Amino acid sequence: MTLADACAFAEAQGWPKFRGEQIWRWVHAQGVRTFDEMTNLSRDVRDQLAARACIGSLKVAEVQTSKDGTRKLRLETRDGQSIESVLIPFEGEKTTLCISSQVGCAVDCQFCATAKMGLKRNLDAGEIVDQVYLARTLLAEVAPERRLSNLVYMGMGEPLHNYDNLVRSLRILCDDKGAKLAQRRITVSTSGLVPKLERLGKEDVRPNLAVSLNAPNDEIRDMIMPINRKWNIGKLLAALKAYPLEQRRRITFEYVLLAGVNDSLRDAGQLAKLLRGVKCKVNIIPWNPHPEAPYERPAPAVIDAFQNECKRLGLPTYLRTPRGDDIDAACGQLANRAGESRTPLVPLRVRREPPPPPPVD
């Protein structure tokens, strides 16, 4: 519930509106998970609530810790689905949580482990928000000196395919009376659903935007991201150029580097040309392996050469070093694989031919 929903709920019970706000604040500002802790409510009200409602929609099923300190949380929904969030402590103060927006994903990017699950269902706003609260609790236990500073919607799923719950979760998390997350520290990553991007630009909540571009032209993007056949690079960039960016903000483009597919100097040149004049930066993500995917991570020298060429051409680029890849927690590795059942890597093969035609949206 948003704060407004909670007030409406209270009124529907015949309670004063402020009681809705009291309850909501306990949950979202104080982080309590039982009605008993709501000490400014009468015993009778607390009992009524406990009989009819519950707080929190997820249970922590498993926490895996990487050698680099990254923690992957496997969380269970009330209907027995599993999703994953990743808590990433960076050097210094920054601690980022990467959350899921769906169980699986329908977009079918050829390089992504989540795609292999297909789409099971959308998460509701409570399930999105609860990932933040459970991660905060874990952080308080394992690293009490740290605070969650950044939130990225880059886990399982395509957030813009779950638009209403995405926006609802942002409203709840950014509410000044609740968890008070700063919009400028939240990033929503999308494969580029053009109509939804246009809609997001008109909302009152304004997270940062990351767009999975992954290719310098339609030919390559069609091959690795079938969604490009519906909204190609031209349409995507037109929508992004029209997107109302807050002052001093830039769009982040993600570029998963796949050996022999999109990693040549020519690709770097095309990319720099494509993005000239767009207020942006590019995050280069060397492909993170997962079983049965027909790709390879480029050699370090190739990655360097690609980045240097982009920089030489004036495109700001950053290399994302994989975090938590030893526990399958790095970008594109989330697919509900439990620690002990991790499948060994199959021999890799570089694929250049187009994949079989997938459903587009």
Name which of 20 and 104 has its Cβ closer to ligand SF4: 104
Question: Tokens in use for 107?
Answer: 């977009």
The answer to whether the CB of 285 falls within 8 A of the CB of 253 is: no
Going by the DSSP 8-state scheme, the letter that residue 221 receives in this structure is H
- Name the packing angle between helices 265-274 and 300-312 (round to 10°): 30
Out of 254, 263, 309, 325, the residue judged to bind ligand SAH by CB under 6 A: 254
The answer to whether the CB of 283 falls within 8 A of the CB of 320 is: yes
Which of ligand SAH, ligand SF4, none does residue 84 bind (CB under 5 to 8 Å by kind)?
A: none
Is there binding between residue 191 and ligand SF4 (CB under 6 A)?
Answer: yes
To ligand SAH, the closest distance from the beta carbon of 294 in angstroms equals 12
Which of ligand SAH, ligand SF4, none does residue 287 bind (CB under 5 to 8 Å by kind)?
A: ligand SAH
Binding mask 199-238 for ligand SF4 (x = CB under 6 A): -------------x--------------------------
Is there binding between residue 190 and ligand SAH (CB under 6 A)?
Answer: yes
To ligand SF4, the closest distance from the beta carbon of 155 in angstroms equals 8
CA atoms of 130 and 69, how far apart (whole Å): 22
Active site residues: 84, 331
The one-letter amino acid at 340: E
Out of 111, 133, 231, 306, the residue judged to bind ligand SAH by CB under 6 A: 111
Name which of 175 and 254 has its Cβ closer to ligand SAH: 254
Which residues in the 32-61 window bind ligand SAH by CB under 6 A? none
Is there binding between residue 193 and ligand SF4 (CB under 6 A)?
Answer: no
Out of 193, 209, 240, 331, the residue judged to bind ligand SAH by CB under 6 A: 331
Residue that has been written with the tokens 């519906």 in this structure: 230
Is there binding between residue 191 and ligand SAH (CB under 6 A)?
Answer: yes
To ligand SF4, the closest distance from the beta carbon of 332 in angstroms equals 6
Q: What does 224-276 look like in DSSP terms, one character per residue?
A: H-GGGGTS-HHHHHHHHHHS-PPTT--EEEEEEE-TTTS-SHHHHHHHHHHTT
Measured CA distances, 63 to 71, 109, 110, 220, 332 (Å): 7, 27, 28, 37, 18
CA atoms of 318 and 312, how far apart (whole Å): 13
Out of 187, 214, 317, 336, the residue judged to bind ligand SAH by CB under 6 A: 214
Name which of 23 and 200 has its Cβ closer to ligand SAH: 200
Is there binding between residue 73 and ligand SAH (CB under 6 A)?
Answer: no
Question: Tokens in use for 217?
Answer: 């032209």
Is there binding between residue 239 and ligand SAH (CB under 6 A)?
Answer: no
Measured CA distances, 338 to 115, 334, 343 (Å): 17, 10, 10
Out of 84, 130, 158, 263, the residue judged to bind ligand SF4 by CB under 6 A: 158
The one-letter amino acid at 126: G
The answer to whether the CB of 150 falls within 8 A of the CB of 96 is: yes
Name which of 179 and 223 has its Cβ closer to ligand SF4: 223
Name which of 92 and 359 has its Cβ closer to ligand SF4: 359
CA atoms of 112 and 38, how far apart (whole Å): 43
Burial 226-265 (b: 16+ CB within 10 A, else e): bbbeebbbeebbebbeebebeeeeebbbbbbbbbebbbbe
To ligand SF4, the closest distance from the beta carbon of 189 in angstroms equals 7
Is there binding between residue 99 and ligand SAH (CB under 6 A)?
Answer: no
Which residues in the 97-116 window bind ligand SF4 by CB under 6 A? 105, 107-109, 112, 114-115
Binding site residues, ligand SF4, CB under 6 A: 105, 107-109, 112, 114-115, 157-158, 191, 212
Binding site residues, ligand SAH, CB under 6 A: 111-112, 154, 158, 189-191, 212, 214, 254, 256, 285, 287-288, 290, 331-332
